[in-house]
Amino acid sequence: MKIIIVGAGEVGFHIASHLSRENKEVLIIDRDPAAIRRVSDNLDVQAVEGSGSSPMVLEEAGIQEAEIILAVTDSDEVNLVACLVANILSPTTKKLARVRHGDFDQYHSILNEHAPHIDNIINPEIEVVRTIESMVRVPGAADVGEFADGRIQFIGVYLDKTSRLAGIKLAELPQKVGDARPLIAAVVRDEELIIPGGNDRLMPGDLIYFISEKDKLREILAIFDKHDPPANRILIVGGGSIGLRLARRLEEKANYCKIIESDPTRCALLAERLNKTVVLCGDGSDQDLLAEENIQDMDAVVTVTDNEETNILASLLAKRMGARKSITKISKFSYFPLMKAIGIEQVVSPRLSAINTILQHVRKGKVLSAISIKGEQAEVLEALALETSDIVEKPLKNISFPKGALVAGIIRRDKIIIPTGDSVIQPDDRIIIVATKPAIPKIEKILAVKLEYF
């Protein structure tokens, strides 16, 4: 599979890194010589200096042989034009454009339906806002994902020292918690991701990912001793596009919401566009301002400024002053491993959201959605099983999946099945697979070649 990426910024660079490790043929285009040097020095991919919206550059890059072009520069206009030119030169190439400006929000479906030069519009800010909403709603969650139109939740929680599950083997879960046991899909310990077996123990400090039906989530969270009610009083630090989108969404859910923004002109715009949210003009990392606004009464503080150092500082300060939880927007992937060490457990990233959305379209087979977890060490895929599959009509325990892969859920019409070894996949089932990075190419091969049906 040949993939052309237009834009060698953080998203383009990390998508290229992600795909090159899977032995895909990747070519990246950027007009910034420094960005191209960074790619050439660090990644095993081809790099072309030039404009990704130039027909000559795209032809030089081999657009006619590319299966997919990803336009992920920081300019919406460049991304749209790159897809338009790519469609003229190679109509059969699948085209994805990252478009972030809010003016395009209500036109996404129209563009997807009526613009032949764009197969999919990607807006990571919308996905980040949805993720923040989910984190606000789910107590104790360090990471949240959804499958089957929200009916299945994929949740990451940290295991506390005092938890009744600390130190027990997975095989002992039924004796400890009864029939309401969660399906534990992955464990992150000391920055290493593990697909656990029955003899693996859960240890304090582990980040545990589990699958749950939405209507049973509270019951499962209680097993991990996560009992806090959903957050209703929320303070947003940063009134940019993400802060505005989030405040609007929270207003719809009848949350009590305040937003702090340092730019007076932006504050005036926020006050004009928001109905119920209290708009405060000031510095979200100002201790006196936070004290004046009774930060200790806030259920959640969400820091989404364009400066991640400010986000980190404001989150730490809010927690220290008594806020129940903080959610921090981080863009630099190099910061991710440091967050837990300094006391920040709930992190969101527009760039990681963009990567998740892009992976859904890059994956071979009938993949409906994809989520990267823990610094891209693994993926959770939702895919469709067709009648020609050789994994249908037989127990899971009789199917040879690659090491590091696990079937974590089966959706059959309106029924959600948390699988065991005796579970049988039927045609038209949707299945959820958790797979480590080394297992991904094998899973893709199973889905796209052996099975043809995914």
303-332 confidence digits (pLDDT tens):
999 999 999 999 999 999 999 889 999 988
* Conformation bin of residue 128: beta by default, left when phi > 0, alpha when psi is -120 to 50: alpha
pLDDT digits (tens, 9 = 90+) for 384-399: 887 776 678 888 888 8
Name the strands in the sheet holding 68-71, side by side, starting at the edge strand that comes first in the sequence. 46-49, 25-30, 2-6, 68-71, 94-98, 120-122
Paired sense of beta strands 378-384 and 430-436, if any = antiparallel
Give the mean pLDDT of the chain.
Answer: 86
CA dist., res. 130 & res. 41, Å (int): 36
Residue-level pLDDT at 448: 56
Which of 125-129, 139-143, 256-260, 378-382: highest mean pLDDT?
256-260
For residue 453, is pLDDT > 60? no
pLDDT band at 157 (very low <50, low <70, confident <90, very high): very high
- Identify the pLDDT of residue 367: 75
Average pLDDT (242-261) is 90
203 touches 211 (CB < 8 A): no
Please compute the mean of the pLDDT values over residues 171-196 and round it to a whole number. 82
CATH topology match: 2-122 vs 353-450: no
Q: How confident is the model at residue 334 (pLDDT cuts 50, 70, 90)?
A: confident
Q: Are 107 and 126 in contact (CB under 8 A)?
A: no
What is the token pair recorded at 32? 């910034």
Domain boundaries along the sequence of the chain: 2-122, 141-223, 233-347, 353-450
What CATH number labels 233-347?
A: 3.40.50.720
- Give 353-450's CATH code, choosing from 3.30.70.1450, 3.30.1330.10, 3.40.50.150, 2.60.40.1530: 3.30.70.1450
pLDDT at residue number 180: 67
Edge to edge, the sheet with strand 152-158 lists: 141-147, 152-158, 207-213, 183-189, 192-194
Place of tokens 């030119």: 85
Q: Does 238 score more than 50 pLDDT?
A: yes
Whether the pLDDT of residue 420 is over 70: the answer is yes
Q: 451: pLDDT confidence band, cut at 50, 70 and 90?
A: very low
Query: Residue 338 — very low, low, confident or very high, per pLDDT cuts 50/70/90?
Result: confident
Bridge partners, residue 18, by sequence: none
Count the neighbouring beta carbons within 10 Å of the beta carbon of residue 253.
13
CA distance 176 to 170: 10
Q: Say what percent of the chain tops pLDDT 70.
A: 92
* Higher pLDDT pick, 451 / 83: 83
pLDDT for res 265: 95
213: phi then psi, degrees, rounded to nearest 5: -65, 145
pLDDT of residue 89: 94
Q: Specify the higher pLDDT residue, 253 or 78.
A: 78
pLDDT of residue 449: 41
pLDDT tens digits for range 285-297 = 999 999 999 999 9
> Tokens representing 268?
């005036």
CATH 3.10.350.10 fits 2-122, yes or no: no
440, burial (CB in 10 Å: exposed 0-12, middle 13-18, buried 19+)? buried
Looking at the domain 141-223, which fold is it? Answer: Alpha-Beta Plaits (3.30.70)
Amino acid identity of residue 444, one-letter, is E
Comparison of pLDDT for 177 and 205, the residue scoring more: 205
Pick from 21-35, 72-86, 277-291, 327-341: least confident = 327-341
